[in-house]
Amino acid sequence: MALKLIIGNKNYSSWSMRPWIAMKVAKIPFEETVVSLNAPNFKDVLGPVSGTGKVPTLIDGDVRVWESLAILEYLAEKFPNARLWPADSAARALARAVSNEMHAGFLPLRRHMPMNLSRPVIKREPTPEAAANVKRIETMWSDCRARYGRKADGPFLFGMFGAADAMYAPVVARLHTYGVDVSAATKSYIDAVMALPAWQEWHAAALKETWVLAEDEVDWPTVHRV
């Protein structure tokens, strides 16, 4: 029986993007169901399968897993050959730490720069709090790459693309969409993530969506579209 992943709008749902892109890059087969975050039947669809009534939710037979990081952990156990976490224990510990930091924090950045892949690149100056988030993220990315990233393995945080990169994929989208000034090393990492076929597939689908969520349109009532 194929895995099933219930996700929200590809244009806006940062939480949904994380397990989706990880599964695509790892070539883990699954069926997807997209439910708009503002759909009238959203709770009816998610309530029976998600403890929180939110996306994303993974269905594997009788198993139900919600929360993006929990889904990644489940997938890492079920598909060890996918190598979603680094094999080295020290690297794996760091990957889990930075992933949990993303899962639990950076609210100023999230709120000031919501994911909106259909918005053209228009610079938006970060608030001091969001700027501090960006600085922390850049420091983490640089540290992971310096300590464990190997060019031979790939251009991502721990060499090959893994769970930690999936957790930060929506941040890549935010930094790009809002034209945030970043270092050359950060820009190189952003380019590498956005060059992934999985990223391109998600992005193309996001551009085809017609749903508009006012709370995620920072230029509201103007809605900019590429």
Amino acid found at 96:
R
Report which of residues 217 and 151 the model is more confident about.
217
pTM confidence score: 0.94
Please report, rounded to a whole number, the percentage of residues in the chain having pLDDT higher than 90: 87
pLDDT tens for each residue of 75-111: 999 999 999 999 999 999 999 999 999 988 899 999 9
Both tokens of 35, joined, read 């439910």
- Helix 163-177 with 14-25: angle, nearest 10 deg: 130
Arithmetic mean of pLDDT, 102-129: 95
pLDDT of residue 52 exceeding 90, the answer is no
Domain ranges of the chain: 3-82, 89-206
Note the pLDDT of residue 170: 96
Arithmetic mean of pLDDT, 15-23: 97
pLDDT confidence tier of residue 34, bands split at 50, 70 and 90: very high
pLDDT tens for each residue of 130-163: 999 999 999 999 999 999 877 668 899 999 999 9
Highest CATH level, class, for 3-82 = alpha beta
Q: Given 1.10.645.10, 1.20.1050.10, 3.40.50.300, 3.30.365.10, which CATH number is that of 89-206? A: 1.20.1050.10
pLDDT confidence tier of residue 54, bands split at 50, 70 and 90: confident
Note the pLDDT of residue 201: 97
Cα(107)–Cα(102) distance, integer angstroms: 9
pLDDT of residue 182 exceeding 70, the answer is yes
The phi, psi pair for 31, rounded to 5°, reads -105, 140
Cα(137)–Cα(145) distance, integer angstroms: 12
Note the pLDDT of residue 1: 66
Arithmetic mean of pLDDT, 152-176: 94
